[in-house]
Amino acid sequence: TVETGGDAPATERSVRVPPGVTVFDSASWNGIAIDSTCGGHGTCHKCRVRIEGPSPVSRHDLRTFTREQLDDGWRLACLVQATRDLRVDVPPLTTRPKAATVGVGRQVILRPALQKRYVELDEPTLADQRTDLDRLLAAIDDLAPTPDLHVLRRLPRVLREADFKVTAVIVDETLVDVEPGDTTGRRHAIAFDLGTTTVVATLLDVTTGTPLAVASMLNRQQPFGGDVITRISATMLDPRALDRLRAAAGETLAELAAHVCDEAGVDPAEVHEVALAGNATMTALALGIDPEPLGVAPFVMSTPQPPAVLASDLGLSLHPRARAYLFPALGAYVGGDIVAGMLATGMDRDKRTRLFIDVGTNCEIVLSDGERILSTAAPAGPAFEGGAIRCGMRAADGAVEVVKLVPDGDEPVVLSVIGDAEPRGLCGSGLVDAVSELVRVGLLDASGRFVPEERAAEIAPALADRLTKIGEERVFVLFRPHPDSKTDECVVLSQRDVRELQFAKAAISTGWTLLLEELGLEHRDVQQVLLAGSFGSYLSPASAIRIGLVPKLPVLRIVSAGNVAGEGAKMALLSVRERAGARTLLEEVTYVELSDRTDFNDRFVEQLSF
Ligand code: FES
């Protein structure tokens, strides 16, 4: 329940977050603002929420709340982890923040590129015949904006209709509009994470940094193929495909923009800026730039920093002169989404040795030792998104997302299914869990092979009859709809699925192993692993460690980072300094090309086993 303060009624929202993420981060990633001045680090004691049902009490809670408040469920949101379904009451904000909490515990001082200034101008007289524009610019000379033609078209009428009391709207040093009266309390921008699969939009009040609405939907480019390579291929096969892909991206962004504006009751014409974080291919397609060179060796981008464009160039119908900021890219396969993610996680500011892994079809890896930052991309293939997996599916209702094997329990296979529906298939996190659990109980050996039947009957009799065959292929039955269902009607994990996952995880672990070697580091030197992206964030850290997707480290060092690309896009809208930081990252990060390394294949083979 979110209380908005004032007379507005409390609203109810349901959100889904990776297990183990704090209530504070869960709220902030989903556009729900909670009071804070420390950014979720447990020191400001402002992030007070009420949680229904029992939840642990930290020593900071004991210092902050009375016994009655603790009994009533009051806790500090940044110290409670969402490890089960929680019902949380969020009180209204008590202060107008000067900084906003964004990304993974980042405090951003609010300095948006979108500025508004209310001015009351002297009316012209015969003794003062300065032009309308000079009169306005003199009143805001500290901002020294360059006027846009749109302003000149509107200025004479707006000034006179509003008795020369107007608000100048400036985006990134350009005067984009002049509005009658004082509209300084209304400054809106939209942050987009333009993913290959899913696109997320957050409407922000940039005066306070408060997210007003969040929406997501599948990218309308899906019919052209599930990954960037198939979409690039589509443009190479059909000359009309580029225009269609561009239009599909525009429709996706426009639909989301309309949705968030509608939900927050904001007129789309009042949105003056957007920021967009996408991989290099998604950014090129959204702008209508031929992506072919990104898809063929030597994998070259048209430009690392797209030029300044208008939101309308992306197919958006917002304010007619709304600006669009696009994140720069490090390379064809480490794009603007990863630069935004680095910004959101402070990869260039933290002195710790940290590894950032965005798990997907193309897996981007960044390693920083506090001094140097390396990045690379590993082709993991479609396994994590359910592609090439016998019962694979996207993370949608009916997808098994958590698997637990309890060989001596009453229920030897415990599944958690998205939407609490009947299991229909396995999504990426379910796949990783299933394999990890089968390795743990010994039904899969270190080479990734199912053990012989006799051996299975010895080590896990309650599970042995689930190890069967479809045709010649061995499979493990995770869910049988009816006792008499045939095996090919069941949700199963096949031997080939295990191989697919082995190849995917070996590509990723080869990537970070080689980066660690470049910096002369060992596994144990890594102080934090950030699992990012819509898939990575939902992975069970314990399973990721067990199958070797991440270095063998204490589980608390593995952190779900959420949608960091979207968070980075928000930061770019809230702070021009952060935006400049994205640009600096291009100089600070060294890209390591894996495909031309002679030791890649040997390393890959070493990493295949569990
Ligand atoms: Fe400051 Fe929780 S956000 S204590």
Residues 205 and 352 in one domain: no
Residue 88: strand pairing partners? 51
- Of 346, 258, 260, 249, whose CA–CA distance to 291 is shortest? 249
The secondary structure of 281-304, three-state, reads HHHHHHHCCCCHHHHCCCCCCCCC
Domain-embedded: residue 102: no
- Looking at residue 276, what is its pLDDT? 98
Q: What angle do CA 346, 352, 356 make, to 5 degrees?
A: 55
**193 and 260 in contact (C-beta within 8 Å)?**
no
pLDDT (tens digit per residue) in 108-145: 888 899 999 999 999 999 999 999 999 999 999 888 89
213 CB neighbour count, 10 Å cutoff = 19
Within 72-208, where are the H helices? 132-139, 149-161
pTM, rounded to two decimals: 0.86
**224 and 412 in contact (C-beta within 8 Å)?**
no
Residues 377 and 318 in one domain: no
- Looking at residue 392, what is its pLDDT? 94
Residues 456 and 539 in one domain: no
Pocket flag, ligand 1, residue 58 (CB < 6 Å): no
pLDDT (tens digit per residue) in 330-370: 999 999 999 999 999 999 888 899 999 999 888 999 999 99
Pocket flag, ligand 1, residue 192 (CB < 6 Å): no
Domain-embedded: residue 101: no
Considering the chain, what percentage of its residues have pLDDT values greater than 90?
A: 73
> Could you tell me the distance, in angstroms and rounded to a whole number, from the CA of residue 36 to the centre of ligand 1?
5
- Out of 140, 162, 180, pick the residue that ends a domain: 180
Residues 52 and 89 in one domain: yes
Residues 378 and 518 in one domain: yes
- Looking at residue 20, what is its pLDDT? 79
How deeply is 3 buried, as exposed, middle or buried, from its count of CB atoms within 10 A (0-12, 13-18, 19+)? middle
Which protein residue has the closest C-alpha to ligand 1 atom 1? 44
For the cut 90, the answer to whether the pLDDT of residue 43 exceeds it is: no
Residues 322 and 219 in one domain: yes
Residues 520 and 602 in one domain: yes
Domain-embedded: residue 255: yes
First to last CA, the chain: 44
How deeply is 294 buried, as exposed, middle or buried, from its count of CB atoms within 10 A (0-12, 13-18, 19+)? buried
**436 and 547 in contact (C-beta within 8 Å)?**
yes
When pLDDT is cut at 50, 70 and 90, the band that residue 5 belongs to is low
Task: Find all residues with CB under 8 Å of 126, minimum gap 6, and list them.
Answer: none
- Looking at residue 27, what is its pLDDT? 84
Domain-embedded: residue 519: yes
Which helix H or strand E contains 245, and what residues bound it?
helix 241-264
- Looking at residue 151, what is its pLDDT? 93
Helices H / strands E in the chain, number of each: 19, 27
When pLDDT is cut at 50, 70 and 90, the band that residue 227 belongs to is confident
Residues 129 and 23 in one domain: no
Give exposure, 47-68, as e/b (b: 16+ Cβ within 10 Å). Answer: bbbbbeeebebeeebeebbeee
Instruction: Tell me the C-alpha distance between 543 and 504, whole Å.
Output: 15
When pLDDT is cut at 50, 70 and 90, the band that residue 98 belongs to is confident
From the CA of 34, give the closest atom in ligand 1.
3
Structure tokens at 596: 């031309």
Which helix H or strand E contains 24, and what residues bound it?
helix 23-29
Structure tokens at 255: 């639909």
Pocket flag, ligand 1, residue 99 (CB < 6 Å): no
Residues 349 and 481 in one domain: no
Which of 21, 22, 24, 61 is the best mutation target for the ligand 1 pocket, counting ligand atoms within 8 Å of the beta carbon and taking the most?
24
Residue 203's SS3 state is strand
- Looking at residue 24, what is its pLDDT? 87
From the CA of 42, give the closest atom in ligand 1.
4
When pLDDT is cut at 50, 70 and 90, the band that residue 446 belongs to is very high
Average pLDDT, whole number, for the chain? 92
Residues 422 and 446 in one domain: yes
User: Which amino acid is present at 353?
Assistant: T
Average pLDDT over residues 184-188: 95
- Looking at residue 2, what is its pLDDT? 64
Pocket flag, ligand 1, residue 47 (CB < 6 Å): yes
**540 and 436 in contact (C-beta within 8 Å)?**
yes
Tell whether the torsion through CA atoms of 337, 338, 343 and 346 is positive or negative: positive
Q: In the chain, what are the helix, strand and coil shares in percent, each to the nearest 5?
A: 35, 25, 40
When pLDDT is cut at 50, 70 and 90, the band that residue 8 belongs to is low
- Looking at residue 242, what is its pLDDT? 97
pLDDT (tens digit per residue) in 304-340: 998 889 999 999 999 999 999 999 999 999 999 999 9
Q: What is the DSSP string of 86-121?
A: --EEBPPPSS--SEEEETTTEEEE-B-SEEEEEEEP
- Looking at residue 448, what is its pLDDT? 95
Residue 564's SS3 state is helix
Residues 147 and 90 in one domain: no
Domain-embedded: residue 32: yes
**327 and 583 in contact (C-beta within 8 Å)?**
no
**314 and 245 in contact (C-beta within 8 Å)?**
no
From the CA of 35, give the closest atom in ligand 1.
3
Residue 464's SS3 state is helix
> Could you tell me the distance, in angstroms and rounded to a whole number, from the CA of residue 579 to the centre of ligand 1?
25
Considering the chain, what percentage of its residues have pLDDT values greater than 70?
A: 98
Instruction: Tell me the C-alpha distance between 588 and 517, whole Å.
Output: 19
When pLDDT is cut at 50, 70 and 90, the band that residue 6 belongs to is low
- Looking at residue 137, what is its pLDDT? 95
**249 and 313 in contact (C-beta within 8 Å)?**
no
DSSP state of 450: B
Pocket flag, ligand 1, residue 24 (CB < 6 Å): yes
Domain-embedded: residue 308: yes
CA 13 to the chain's CA centroid: 19
Instruction: Tell me the C-alpha distance between 462 and 13, whole Å.
Output: 41
Which protein residue has the closest C-alpha to ligand 1 atom 3? 40
Instruction: Tell me the C-alpha distance between 178 and 158, whole Å.
Output: 7
Domain-embedded: residue 391: no
When divided into structural domains, the chain yields a total of 5
pLDDT (tens digit per residue) in 365-409: 999 999 999 999 998 888 888 788 999 998 889 999 999 999 988
| CATH number, domain with residue 303 | 3.30.420.480
**235 and 292 in contact (C-beta within 8 Å)?**
yes
> Could you tell me the distance, in angstroms and rounded to a whole number, from the CA of residue 24 to the centre of ligand 1?
8
357 CB neighbour count, 10 Å cutoff = 27
From the CA of 101, give the closest atom in ligand 1.
3
User: Which amino acid is present at 16?
Assistant: R
For residues 180 and 85, the model is more confident at 180
> Could you tell me the distance, in angstroms and rounded to a whole number, from the CA of residue 54 to the centre of ligand 1?
20
Pocket flag, ligand 1, residue 505 (CB < 6 Å): no
- Out of 160, 180, 200, pick the residue that ends a domain: 180
Pocket flag, ligand 1, residue 463 (CB < 6 Å): no
From the CA of 38, give the closest atom in ligand 1.
1
Structure tokens at 609: 């086993």
| CATH number, domain with residue 138 | 3.10.20.880
* Number of residues in the chain: 610
Pocket flag, ligand 1, residue 97 (CB < 6 Å): no
Strand order in the sheet with 413-417: 413-417, 399-405, 425-426
- Out of 36, 66, 95, pick the residue that ends a domain: 95
Domain-embedded: residue 552: yes
User: Residue 203 sits in which domain range?
Assistant: 188-326
Cis, bond preceding 483 (omega within 30 deg of 0): no
Structure tokens at 50: 């009420």
Which of 38, 51, 93 is the best mutation target for the ligand 1 pocket, counting ligand atoms within 8 Å of the beta carbon and taking the most?
38
Task: Find all residues with CB under 8 Å of 203, minimum gap 6, and list them.
Answer: 188, 189, 190, 211, 212, 213, 214, 260, 261, 263, 264, 266, 271
When pLDDT is cut at 50, 70 and 90, the band that residue 97 belongs to is low
Count how many Cα atoms sit within 13 Å of the Cα of residue 595 in the half-sphere of its side chain: 9
For the cut 80, the answer to whether the pLDDT of residue 200 exceeds it is: yes
Residues 526 and 444 in one domain: no
When pLDDT is cut at 50, 70 and 90, the band that residue 420 belongs to is confident
For residues 577 and 274, the model is more confident at 274
279 CB neighbour count, 10 Å cutoff = 28
For residues 73 and 536, the model is more confident at 73
Count how many Cα atoms sit within 13 Å of the Cα of residue 124 in the half-sphere of its side chain: 12
535 CB neighbour count, 10 Å cutoff = 24
